[in-house]
Structure 1
């Protein structure tokens, strides 16, 4: 049987647990779910491979779900918010 590989990148926080519950509730018999623990080197390495910048995040068949892309701190946006600029 062919399965869909689903990876949930989780740090174990309440928001991550909520995402795990949501994915499990939506899953069908074709879904093979794996929770990737972001506390260890293997999880961090896998997250970097897929471009995960914040958790929770979900990947389906090796691609980040649209809702999980483009998130996380970005240097230019942090600088635009004033970080690194002394107050006068």
Structure 2
């Protein structure tokens, strides 16, 4: 079974923290959740390049399997609609 890759772009904001928590709660066993903090860290330049590649203009932002799906603080329903939590 192929893992679904969920990438969350953050920047130390309260909405970002809530989004990470919600995605992690909903993620299924076949989901791999990666969090990219665009405002700090050793790999910040790599994360910024990835965000630019995906077209991220605001955080939090969520990409699934390499496609930007949501920008801004999502609801549980929005996350479920794009496949978070589904095998």
Q: TM-score range by the shorter chain?
A: 0.7 to 0.9
Q: Aligned pair count?
A: 68
- What TM-score do you get using the length of structure 1 for normalisation? 0.72
Structure 2: runs of 5+ lacking an equivalent: 73-87
* Structure 2 CA distance for aligned equivalents of residues 60 and 10 of structure 1: 15
Identify which of structures 1 and 2 has the higher relative contact order when contacts are C-alpha pairs closer than 8 Å and 6+ apart.
Answer: 2
- The structure with the larger Rg is 1
Please provide the CA RMSD for this pair.
1.4
Structure 1: runs of 5+ lacking an equivalent: 70-88
Deviation at 1:12, TM superposition (A): 1.6
Map of 2:22 onto structure 1: 22
Runs (4+) of structure 1 exceeding 3 A deviation are none
Q: Deviations over 1:27-66 (max 9, x none)?
A: 000100000110221111100000000000000000011x
